[in-house]
Every structure is written in structure tokens, then in C-alpha cells.
Amino acid sequence: ATPTALMVGTGRGAQLGILIKGPEVLEQTRRITTIVLDKTGTVTEGKMWVADVVTAAGTDLRELLHLAGSAENASEHPIARAIAERAHTEIGRLASVESFTNRAGMGIEAVVDGHAVVVGRPATLESEWGLRFPPDLTAAREQAEARGQTVVAASWDGAVRGIFVIADRIKQSSADAVAELRQLGLTTVLLTGDNARTAAVVAAEVGVERVRADVLPSDKSAEVARLQQAGEVVAMVGDGVNDAPALAQADLGLAIGTGTDVAIEASDITLVSGDLRAAVDAIRLARRTLRTIK
């Protein structure tokens, strides 16, 4: 009877858009105590756009768009796509880069028209590249972060010349899903490479209790392990290539079906739609299925 009930459970899951890798996954699902949510693309839509471009004193807007846009045009990151698209829309043709380096979770470095261009997290530009963030851009940066938006700074030839304010939309269902996860007795954690201020605003909007921000892609799985060492049985929900190691480390990995194949492969469950309420359905289903067995 036990295997049959599990088969019925996984079959019911498939009907609900919850693809479960094997019957043993339901038992893991029932045991979880903490659920870690990736921010970008999981809690938010992950379809980013440039909401604002602000130049530092003495910087030409077209030059900022040209150099930062051309540099980012060599990257696949959603923030880079948004910047390159904005630049292309406003100024037309972009230059090809002479050299390009991606620094995962930090930003990019490129040579464009002979200029050494860096685009990335403001904090990282200071700590990794030794660049000073211009005081005349501080207010714009703080206002954007207070709205839950992400600020990316652009520099060339050793000076920060402007910022791009990157916007994303919180999925319509995220707040409801988080409320239900908490009703199920789970601790909710938001995990992101984004800065603490932006992350805190998003967490507050959807009702997530704890925030782990400024986490490098390579450290996401260590954050999951830390929760496990503290005695939590951890589920992780994510969509990106960056999330794959954390999804594999978690006691239960749940991939957003519209996300990357790498995330799906690393996970135990795929939520076919992008709707986080499917994670709630999965947990309810596991609890119900295993209750009927006992």
C-alpha cells in the first residue's frame, strides 16, 4: 500500500504542475522546517529593466550609455541584458568589446574603444576595483534601494561615471505564497546576491522573515549548509544557474520550471509554473499523502 500511495501522490503532484523526481521525495518534503527563497526570478519575475540612468557630474549621458551598454552587451546576465537594451534603444549601434571578463555576482570588466570599463555592484566596485563611489550619486542610489530596486555603477578609466537603476517586479502570487508557507509552520529566508537594503525591502513586501543578502553565487550553498548545521531541514527554491549548488545542497530542492535547465537538474521537484504557491501545494500534498500511509 505504501508504494501505491506514493505513486498516487506523485501523480496528483503532476496534475498540480509539481513534477516530483521520485517517491522518496515526498518524505523529504514532509520533514522540512525552513524554506529558502532565491530573490531574483523566484520571488520576483526576473525580467529586469532600466528604470533610471543617472550620470555623475561632468559625465555625458550618451557616452555612459555607449560604454556601459557595449560592455554589458557581451554578458548574458539579466541586468546586463537590460542595460544593453536600454543603450541600444537610446543610441543605436553598440561597439564590440576588445576584452571581457565576467566576475560572477559582482559585475563585468571590458575594454571598449580603448577605455577600461567596469560595471557592477557599487560595493564591489569599491572593494574589488578600488573605485570611489561619487558622493553626488549617493542620494539617487539610496532612494532606488529604498524602493527595492538594484543599483549598478558604471566606471571607466578609474572613475565611477554613473548608475543604472534596475527594476524588477515582485510576482503577484509571492506574498500569498509566503503567508501560506509561514502558516504551514516554516521559517522563510530570502537568499540573494543583491545588496542588503534592496533585499530587505523585497522581503518586507512579501513577508519573508529572514534575509541573507550580498551572498556570492559560490556561497549560496554554504548558506544552506549553515542552516542545516543549525538543525533545520532546508528546502530551497531557485531558478538560476547560480542556485544549482544550493538546490543540490538543500534537503529538498525546488526549481522554478521557467528557470534554467541546470537548476531543474539539481532539484528534486520542478514547479512547472513560476507561481510560488505550487511550493505550498507540494508541501500540503506530501503531508496528506504520508498521513494516509500511516
Catalytic residues: 38
- C-alpha cell of residue 46: 526576473
Q: Look at residue 105 and give the partner it binds from Mg ion, ligand ADP, none, a contact being a CB closer than 5 to 8 Å depending on partner kind.
A: ligand ADP
Task: Judge whether 94 and 80 are in contact, CB under 8 Å.
Answer: no
Site membership for ligand ADP, residue 120 (CB under 6 A): yes
Site for ligand ADP in 223-262 (CB under 6 A): 240, 242
Among Mg ion, ligand ADP, none, partner that 276 touches (CB below 5 to 8 angstroms by kind): none
| Binding to ligand ADP in span 16-55, by CB under 6 A | 39-40
192 contact choice in Mg ion, ligand ADP, none (CB below 5 to 8 Å, kind-dependent):
ligand ADP
Q: Which residue from 29, 34, 40, 221 is in contact with Mg ion, where contact means CB under 5 A?
A: 40
The x, y and z cell numbers of residue 122, run together, are 557599487
How far is the C-alpha of 106 from the C-alpha of 29, rounded, in Å? 33
- With CB under 5 to 8 Å by kind, the binding choice for 239 among ligand ADP, Mg ion, none is Mg ion
The reply to whether 9 sits near Mg ion by the rule CB under 5 A is no
Among 32, 36, 84, 108, binds ligand ADP (CB under 6 A): 108
Grid coordinates representing 269?
521537484
- Residue number with the smallest Cβ distance to ligand ADP: 193
CA distance 278 to 131: 44
Q: Which does 217 bind (CB under 5 to 8 A by kind): ligand ADP, Mg ion, none?
A: ligand ADP
Q: Alpha helices of 34-186 — where are they, by DSSP H?
A: 61-72, 78-91, 122-127, 138-146, 174-183
Per-residue contact track with Mg ion, 225 to 254, x per CB under 5 A? --------------xx--------------
Q: Which helix (H) or strand (E) holds 152?
A: strand 150-156
Q: d(Cα 204, Cα 170) in Å, to the nearest integer? A: 12
38 binds Mg ion (CB under 5 A): yes
Rounded to a whole number of angstroms, the minimum distance from the CB of residue 25 to Mg ion is 22
- CB 221 to Mg ion: min, Å: 14
Using CB under 5 A as the binding criterion, the count of chain residues that bind Mg ion stands at 5
Cα–Cα distance measured from residue 158 to residue 165, given in angstroms and rounded to the nearest whole number: 21
Q: Does 260 bind Mg ion (CB under 5 A)?
A: no
Q: How far apart are CA 224 and CA 248, in angstroms?
A: 10
- 41 binding Mg ion? (CB under 5 A): yes
Q: Which is nearer to Mg ion, 40 or 270 (CB)?
A: 40
Side by side, the strands of the sheet bearing 107-112 are 49-55, 159-167, 150-156, 115-120, 107-112, 99-103
Give the count of residues interacting with ligand ADP (CB under 6 A): 22
Q: Is 75 in the site for ligand ADP (CB under 6 A)?
A: yes
Provide the minimum distance between the beta carbon of 2 and ligand ADP in the complex, in angstroms, as a whole number: 39
Chain residues binding Mg ion by CB under 5 A are 38, 40-41, 239-240
Chain residues binding ligand ADP by CB under 6 A are 39-40, 72, 75, 77, 79-80, 105-108, 119-121, 150, 152, 192-194, 217, 240, 242
